[in-house]
A and B are shown apart, each in its own frame.
Chain A
Amino acid sequence: MQLSNRSKQVSHKEMTLAEKMYLPAIAQGLAITIKHFFSKKATVQYPEVKRYLGPVFRGHHVLKRDEEGRERCTACGLCAVACPAEAISMVAAERKKGEENLYREEKYAAVYEINMLRCIFCGLCEEACPKQAVYLRHDRLVPVFTERDQVIYGKDKLVENLNDRYVRTNTEVQATPTEPSLSRSAT
């Protein structure tokens, strides 16, 4: 049975005396390792240097607004249902008169919270959302937290800033920075 074309043939032949002495082989090995000692290092100095992780990377959550700046989320709860870690919770409310420029539809999320300790960044909320309201940003990581009361992200941290619109197909982003200026959309 051949699973791949990389299989090596195994031989069980007797070792010659030269091979039994080990020393030539050890010298060869030492030469190889010393070559690596002087070779270029593959390390990325992480907090200082950040690699571009690709458009499929799932990082910080964002609640999108539409073109007129209205929140897209209608608090349907499908993301919370889809969430395998049960990290998302929300409270729905009805849109009042005069709030049409704030919320896109009659129902909106008055409270929308994601528990970042529970979130596993699977991206199922993205897929479940019928309104294209929730995304996991490819260009921003969730910042480090040290206190327990910092881990529940409310709407203040999730709803996107109009001056800093998130666009997934932003070709300008070449790193995965946490600075908002680098992920600003072209529009």
Chain B
Amino acid sequence: MDLTALIIKTVFILVVFGVTLLIAMYSTYAERKVASFIQDRIGPNRAGPFGLLQPLADAGKLFFKEDFIPSQANKGLFILGPCLAILTALMSSAVIPFGETFQFDNVLYALQGIEVNIGILYIFGVVSLGVYGIMVGGWASNNKFSLLGAIRAASQNISYEVALGLSIIAILMMTGSLSVSNIVTSQHGIAWNVFNQPLGFIIFLTCSFAECNRTPFDLPESENELVGGYHTEYSSMKLGFYLFSEYINMFVSSAVIASLYFGGYNYPGMDWVRETLTSSLGTTGHNLATLVGTMSLFGKIFFFIFFFMWVRWTVPRFRYDQLMNLGWKTLIPLSILNVIVTGAGLLYNIKYASWLIVAVMVILAIMSAARASKSQVRPQRS
């Protein structure tokens, strides 16, 4: 790799890093705004225009709070916990292709941190490391509630990782590649995977909610049951790192969902846009077309970030046994079924085979709803 390529890659990685942090920062603001809008309130609007400086104020407050370490805590691990959480959160965005190619000096550079042919495996490896941040933090703070929260977080993440991986397999079978950029390229135009894999998408979405510890899967930090979950003992910027890493995770998993199921930077009519721009503007046109693709990817990412928040104020938290039942007894068998049906479809060259499961499920649901006896509602005993 020559020097120019190295510099361009470095700049790109720094940009991705910066954008990730910026989006995570403003996700906290967006979270509060969305929450208040859904609850018929206005939300933060005092710091700066529309409250846009609110994240800065929050960060300032976190920095100036007392940084407290409990005397019985394991100091090294206590500090390591939040570092691990934020490190793993930031690492996973490296293999996501944020756009097509960037032309500089007649050389094309892919808008991707690193192009590895095992991209998906890399993401999964890093995401599963994310449990360590929570686990180490909960254990090191030497508090029973933290430990309970950490254990619940760990078991939840591990349970849902299985279904997450299985739901991806159907996509890998259809694409025939583990590389994220190949998966995105194969969804050219509007041939998005969500149209072939509706069930896989729903499973993946549910599991990524669980992986991000977002409601309805926010058992690790359910503050009304566990005081504060795994980060009960944390204060100041260590707590800030934990909360921040949750928002980074949300951004990254939105990006992964968009790349795997919603075509990444692909959008309908992209070829036409590229041709017109390139023929009229040349190299600049090529880069502009790439920029439009990147914009479409970010549009999808923002939609999913919004969706995460939207669901948070809609669905109540699962009980622990319900959570485990859903993960092990529903999502894993369903994703295995999805893999089998997709495989059979590939064998007989039927692209939309996994709609079969959806159709059967809808028919069963309608039948059971129709057959359900409109039984008398028994009055409550006083």
List chain A positions with a Cβ less than 8 A from chain B.
1-2, 7, 9-14, 16-19, 21, 23-24, 26, 29-30, 32-34, 36-37, 39-43, 45
Contact yes or no, A42 B365, CB < 8 A: no
Residue tally, chain B, CB below 8 Å to A: 28
Q: How far is the CB of B211 from chain A (nearest CB, A)?
A: 18
Partner of A21 from the list B365, B377, B380 (CB cut-off 8 Å) is: B365
With a cutoff of 8 Å between Cβ atoms, the chain B residues found around residue A29 in the complex are: 314-315
Tell whether, in the assembled complex, residue B314 and residue A41 are in contact, meaning their CB atoms are under 8 Å apart: no
B173 contacts chain A at the CB level, 8 A cutoff: no
Which of B31-39, B124-132, B164-172, B276-284 lies at the binding interface?
B31-39
B-to-A contact residues, CB < 8 Å: 34, 37-42, 202, 310-311, 313-315, 361, 364-369, 371-372, 375, 377-380, 382
Known: A1-B382, A26-B314, A33-B310. A17 touches B41 (CB 8 A): no
Q: Is the CB of B41 within 8 A of A37?
A: no
CB pair A43 B41 closer than 8 Å: yes
For the complex, what is the distance from the CA of A12 to the CA of B380, rounded to whole Å?
10
B40 & A30 in contact (Cβ 8 Å cutoff): no
Please name all residues of chain A whose beta carbon is closer than 8 Å to the beta carbon of B39 when the two chains form the complex: 36
The answer to whether B369 and A18 touch across the interface, beta carbons within 8 angstroms, is yes
Question: Which residue of A9, A13, A19, A39 is within 8 Å of B379 (Cβ)?
Answer: A9
Q: In the docked arrangement, what's the CA distance between A2 and B379, Å?
A: 12
- Distance to closest chain B CB from A147 (angstroms): 23
Query: Is B382 a contact partner of A17 (Cβ separation < 8 A)?
Result: no
* Residue ID in chain B nearest A39 by CB atoms: B40
Query: In the bound complex, how far is the Cα of B33 from the Cα of A43, in angstroms?
Result: 13
Select one of A2, A21, A33 contacting B313, CB under 8 A.
A33
**B381: nearest residue on chain A (CB-CB)?**
A10
Q: What 13 new A-B contacts, CB under 8 Å, besides A17-B368, A30-B314, A41-B42?
A: A7-B380, A11-B377, A16-B369, A18-B365, A18-B368, A19-B369, A21-B361, A32-B314, A33-B310, A37-B34, A37-B310, A41-B41, A42-B41
* Chain A residues, Cβ within 8 Å of B314: 26, 29-30, 32-33
Return B205 CB to nearest CB of chain A, in Å: 11
- In the assembled complex, how far is the CB of residue B229 from the closest CB belonging to chain A, in whole angstroms? 24
Give Cα A23–Cα B34 distance, bound, in whole angstroms: 22
- Distance in Å: Cβ of B83 to nearest Cβ of chain A: 36
Nearest B residue (CB) for A19: B369
A34 touching B42 in the complex, CB below 8 Å, given contacts A7-B380, A17-B364: no
Q: Name the one of B311, B372, B380 contacting A30, with C-beta atoms under 8 angstroms.
A: B311
Q: How far is the CA of A9 from the CA of B382 in the complex (A)?
A: 11
